[in-house]
Each structure stands twice: as structure tokens, then as C-alpha cells.
């Protein structure tokens, strides 16, 4: 986006060029993309080229403990899909595009810290310092620049590590390249305190992620050997045993990742640099919005740059003012969604509330859109609005379903009346 505006852009990246060395990077293999991510790709004019990399997922396929399955659609309208995309393929495409626009890419250049002398780098040619002048810092959740700040300094960063971790496993494709389970869904095996999820890949395989407490009776720490891993899967996920070959080998070969939320009081240091994406606001992955919100940051930043304000400080300030409340909101919703995915979906009232939400959305779409749909399918509804309205909607749904077991027991005219009373039109 910046190169398209005529800026001379240099990208410095710690790792080597992933188009040449595409080994695993310790992050998720695929990602769920939704409205804000797609909007950013359209905004920059490359969605058509990304589209063929996307695998549409219509809903959550629940795999219950007894082996039954239940497809819960994410939305109710035909276009309401989310998409699975390969992180690597998307990265390759974006890097190629940037390069074609004249962006100069410097791989194996690692930022070390920010101090009075500027931004300190290390590279295979040695260490060097660059003046901190209009720099976009996007070095991810473990941002070195952010870590250069103490808790008392203006950026005031904090990191909340979740007491749950994750591990990725693979369900390979069938010998003929076909999918072993439905490719049109995001699969979830919800088990209360923990869960397993699976996203399809274009090549017929699925990437599974086990999310579970790090310590405790049922935890990553408690699975110390082959027998313990196999017994764990036999007990909680017996229907996956035929799908995942060498389960214990995969389990011990693949790293266990930590999850957390990064918050900062400010994202910029005068006009010197701005933190963006995970460096500013990393979140737990349960609403699948980390990348989507980072892409949204780019669109918002570019639209502010286009206003030609008086200087970078003003651009950074306006960006922070516009996006920080949205980052706070999506971080909170991402934490909520972990409970919903692993536990909430098993609640007997969950399906009823969902049915009622869809009914209200059909009756009064100007006033009521389910929170999940606002976040995932509506590019123009900011996260802060989805969060605020979602809290009011939650209260309304709780009230209306308190004494009802099916939708026919709910007075829908009354429901419509209270929605109109408590929520302004969108
Ligand atoms: C398990 C898991 C599943 C996820 N699933 C989803 C999903 O389904 N949908 C979604 O939207 N989001 C998802 N996310 C979140 C998403 O991965 C991140 O929000 C997104 O990658 C953030 O992009 P970023 O560019 O800010 O940071 P990153 O993707 O972390 O990129 C940072 C870049 O900076 C480089 N770098 C790091 N340190 C330095 C340094 N010192 N010097 C120079 N360069 C450096 C890195 O090599 C990297 O290239 C998931 C995250 C995890 C962990």
C-alpha cells in the first residue's frame, strides 16, 4: 500500500526468504480468513489472485464425545463463509506482489531494540543502527522494539500468557488426494477444558490444533510418553485415531506453542515509529482475527495516510485513536470465544440462542446481527461496535431463552420490541 502511494519502502525481516527456504516457522500452517482480511486484499487489488488459495468453510462441524457430528452453520445467508488459507502460500504471494511494486526486501536483518541512537539491527554483515524515522514496526507478538520499553514508559506494554498452549498435528489426505472428513467445515472436538480443531488445506490434508491447559491433570505437561498420548486420544478423541497416523510421533516432534494477549497504552513513539499487527495487539487465536485485524490495520493506516496530514506524528496518533479501541474489543472477544468453542457449544441453550439470533437477524437486520456474524462477515462494522452491541444482545438472548426450550416458546414480537428499544439501528 505504501509503495503504491509512491513511498520508497524497505522491509527488513529476521528470517530468510520463505520463497527459497520454506521450512516450518513454528506458527499455524493455515489461517481462517474472513471479511476484514478479504476487504484488505480487495482494497489493495489482489483478491482475485488470492481467491484460488481459499477453502470455504460453511460452519463448525462438532464431533461429540460419543462420535455423533453436528454441523452448526456460522451464518444464515449463502455468502456467509469463512475461508481456510495456507499461511505460506499467502506469504509468498504477498512478498511477490510487494517486490513487483518496488519494495526492497532485506531478509536476515533482525531488529534488536530501540534506544536513543535509533533502531538497532543485526544482519549477516554485522550490526547497524538506523534513525527511527517513520518506521512501521510489525515484528509480531514477541516484538523486540516493544520489549525495549519498560512498564513505566509511554508504550507501557503488558503480556498476558494464557495458561493454555497449543500443538499442531496433521490429518493426511487419502491416497487419491481426497479429504478424510468434510472439507467444507472447521471441525471442532469440544471437550470442556480443552479442544481439538481441524482446518482443511487445498492438498486434501487437514491441520489439527490441540488447545489444552499447559499444566494440570489433563494438560500438555501430563502427556509425557507414547502410551499417555495414545490413551489420551483413545479416551477423548477416539474417532481421530484412524485419521492421524503416528499420532504420538507427531505429538512429540511438533512444538508446543504458547498463547497470549499483548496490550499497550500507546502504539507509537512520537513520529519515530508505530507498532502494528501482533507487535501492538497480539491476541489468542480463538476468533481467528489476528491476521484479519492486522490487515484491517493496513487499510485504516493507508486511508489515514491518504488524508495528507501535517506529519507522521499526526498519522500515528490518528491511527492509534481509531484502531486501539478495536484491538481491545477483538482481544476480549477472542478470549470469550475460547470458552464458547470448547465448552459453550455443548450447552443445551447454545443452539436455541443461535436459532433466535438468526430469527432476529431475519426480522430486523437493521438492529440485530449475531456478534459472530458482525465480526466475521461485516467488513464495515468495527470490532468495538460488535463487542458493545454483542454484550447487549447477549443480555437480551439470555433473558428471552431463560424459560424457553424451543423457539416456539418465545414471543418473537416481544423479542423484536425489546431489541428495537435497547439497540440503535446499525
Ligand atoms: C495457532 C495460531 C492460529 C492462528 N490462527 C489465525 C486465524 O485463523 N486467523 C487469523 O486471522 N489469525 C490467526 N492467528 C494470528 C495470526 O497468525 C497473527 O495475528 C498474524 O500473523 C499477525 O501478523 P503480524 O504480521 O503482525 O505478525 P507475524 O505474522 O508474527 O509476522 C512478524 C514478522 O516479523 C518477523 N520478525 C520477528 N522478529 C523480528 C525481528 N526481531 N526482526 C525482524 N523481523 C522480525 C517474523 O519473522 C515475521 O515475518 C493465529 C495465530 C496462532 C498462533
Contact criterion met (CB below 8 Å) for 46 and 93 = yes
How many percent of the chain have pLDDT more than 90? Answer: 93
What pLDDT is stored for residue 25 in this prediction? 53
Question: Which tens digit of pLDDT belongs to each residue from 286-338?
Answer: 999 999 999 999 999 999 999 988 999 999 999 999 999 999 999 999 999 99
Given a cut of 60, whether residue 76 has pLDDT beyond it is yes
294 lines ligand 1 (CB under 6 A): yes
Sheet holding 195-200, edge to edge: 69-73, 59-63, 185-190, 195-200, 206-213, 158-171, 256-263
Beta bridge partners of 167: 210, 256
290 lines ligand 1 (CB under 6 A): yes
* Phi, psi dihedrals of residue 11, rounded to the nearest 5°: -105, 125
Q: Is 262 helix (H, G, I), strand (E, B) or coil?
A: strand
Q: Which CATH class is domain 10-55+85-156+264-341?
A: alpha beta
What pLDDT is stored for residue 151 in this prediction? 78
CA angle 210, 212, 214 (to 5 degrees): 125
What pLDDT is stored for residue 27 in this prediction? 57
Given a cut of 90, whether residue 164 has pLDDT beyond it is yes
- pTM of the shown model: 0.96
Mutate-to-test residue for ligand 1 from 31, 54, 166, highest number of ligand atoms within 8 A of CB: 31
Closest CA to ligand 1's atom 33: 139
Question: Which tens digit of pLDDT belongs to each residue from 8-29?
Answer: 999 999 999 999 976 655 556 8
- Taking the C-alpha atoms of residue 254 and residue 249, their distance in angstroms, rounded to an integer, is 8
Question: Which tens digit of pLDDT belongs to each residue from 28-53?
Answer: 689 999 999 999 999 999 999 999 99
Give the side-chain half-sphere CA count within 13 A for 261. Answer: 18
- Domain boundaries defined on the chain: 10-55+85-156+264-341, 160-259, 347-422
Closest CA to ligand 1's atom 20: 291
Q: Is 60 helix (H, G, I), strand (E, B) or coil?
A: strand
Q: Is 59 left (phi over 0), alpha (psi -120 to 50) or beta?
A: beta
278 lines ligand 1 (CB under 6 A): yes
Q: Is 272 left (phi over 0), alpha (psi -120 to 50) or beta?
A: alpha
- For residue 168, the ligand 1 atom closest to its alpha carbon is 1
What's the average model confidence in pLDDT over 146-162? 90
What pLDDT is stored for residue 387 in this prediction? 98
- As to burial, measured by CB atoms within 10 angstroms (0-12 exposed, 13-18 middle, 19+ buried), residue 421 is exposed
Query: In sequence order, what E strands does 51-155 have?
Result: 55-57, 59-63, 69-73, 82-86, 104-107, 109-115, 118-123, 126-130, 135-137
Mean pLDDT of the chain: 95
Closest CA to ligand 1's atom 29: 140
211 lines ligand 1 (CB under 6 A): no
Separation of CA 44 and ligand 1 centre (Å): 20
14 lines ligand 1 (CB under 6 A): yes
What pLDDT is stored for residue 154 in this prediction? 85
Categorize the per-residue pLDDT at 375 as very low, low, confident or very high, splitting at 50, 70 and 90: very high
Q: Is 101 helix (H, G, I), strand (E, B) or coil?
A: coil
Given a cut of 80, whether residue 234 has pLDDT beyond it is yes
What pLDDT is stored for residue 150 in this prediction? 81
Question: Which tens digit of pLDDT belongs to each residue from 328-353?
Answer: 999 999 999 998 888 888 888 999 99
- For residue 283, the ligand 1 atom closest to its alpha carbon is 19
- Taking the C-alpha atoms of residue 166 and residue 207, their distance in angstroms, rounded to an integer, is 12
The helix (run of H) or strand (run of E) holding residue 317 is: helix 312-342
Given a cut of 90, whether residue 215 has pLDDT beyond it is yes
Closest CA to ligand 1's atom 27: 140
Separation of CA 94 and ligand 1 centre (Å): 14
Amino acid at each position: 500500500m505504501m509503495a503504491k502511494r509512491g513511498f520508497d519502502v524497505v522491509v527488513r525481516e529476521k528470517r530468510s526468504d520463505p520463497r527459497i527456504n520454506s521450512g516450518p516457522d513454528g506458527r499455524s500452517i493455515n489461517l481462517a480468513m474472513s471479511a476484514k482480511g478479504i476487504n484488505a486484499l480487495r482494497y489493495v487489488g489482489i483478491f482475485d489472485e488470492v481467491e484460488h488459495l481459499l477453502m470455504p468453510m460453511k460452519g463448525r462441524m462438532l464431533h461429540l464425545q460419543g462420535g455423533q457430528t453436528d454441523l452448526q452453520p456460522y451464518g444464515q445467508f449463502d455468502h456467509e463463509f469463512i475461508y481456510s488459507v495456507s499461511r505460506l502460500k499467502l506469504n509468498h504471494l504477498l512478498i511477490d506482489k510487494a517486490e513487483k511494486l518496488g519494495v526492497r526486501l532485506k531478509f536476515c536483518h533482525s531488529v534488536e531494540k530501540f534506544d536513543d541512537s535509533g533502531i538497532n539491527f543485526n544482519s549477516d554483515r554485522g550490526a547497524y543502527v538506523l534513525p527511527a524515522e517513520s518506521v512501521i514496526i510489525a515484528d509480531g507478538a514477541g516484538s523486540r522494539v516493544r520489549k525495549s520499553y519498560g512498564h513505566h514508559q509511554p508504550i507501557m506494554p503488558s503480556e498476558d500468557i494464557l495458561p493454555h498452549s497449543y500443538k499442531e498435528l496433521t490429518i493426511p489426505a487419502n491416497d487419491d488426494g481426497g479429504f478424510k472428513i468434510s472439507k467444507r467445515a472447521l471441525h471442532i472436538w469440544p471437550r470442556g477444558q480443552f479442544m481439538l480443531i481441524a482446518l482443511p488445506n487445498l492438498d486434501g490434508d487437514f491441520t489439527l490444533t490441540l488447545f489444552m491447559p499447559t499444566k494440570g491433570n489433563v494438560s500438555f505437561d501430563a502427556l509425557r510418553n507414547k502410551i499417555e498420548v495414545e490413551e489420551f486420544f483413545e479416551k477423548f478423541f477416539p474417532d481421530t485415531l484412524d485419521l492421524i497416523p503416528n499420532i504420538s510421533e507427531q505429538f512429540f516432534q511438533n512444538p508446543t506453542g504458547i498463547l497470549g494477549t499483548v496490550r499497550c497504552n500507546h502504539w507509537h513513539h512520537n513520529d519515530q515509529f508505530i507498532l502494528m499487527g501482533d507487535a501492538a495487539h497480539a491476541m489468542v487465536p480463538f476468533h481467528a482475527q489476528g491476521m484479519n485485524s492486522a490487515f484491517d490495520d493496513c487499510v485504516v493506516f493507508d486511508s489515514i495516510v491518504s488524508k495528507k496530514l501535517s506529519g507522521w506524528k499526526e498519522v500515528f496518533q490518528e491511527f492509534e485513536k481509531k484502531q486501539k479501541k478495536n484491538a481491545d474489543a477483538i482481544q476480549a472477544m477472542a478470549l470469550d470465544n475460547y470458552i464458547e468453542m470448547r465448552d459453550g457449544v455443548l450447552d443445551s441453550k447454545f443452539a436455541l440462542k443461535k436459532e433466535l439470533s438468526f430469527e432476529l437477524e431475519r426480522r430486523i437486520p437493521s438492529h440485530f446481527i449475531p456478534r459472530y456474524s458482525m465480526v466475521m462477515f461485516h467488513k464495515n462494522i468495527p470490532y468495538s461496535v460488535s463487542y458493545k452491541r454483542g454484550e447487549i444482545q447477549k443480555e437480551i438472548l439470555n433473558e428471552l431463552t431463560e424459560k424457553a426450550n424451543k423457539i416456539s416458546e418465545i414471543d418473537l414480537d416481544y423479542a423484536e420490541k425489546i431489541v428495537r428499544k435497547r439497540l440503535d439501528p446499525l
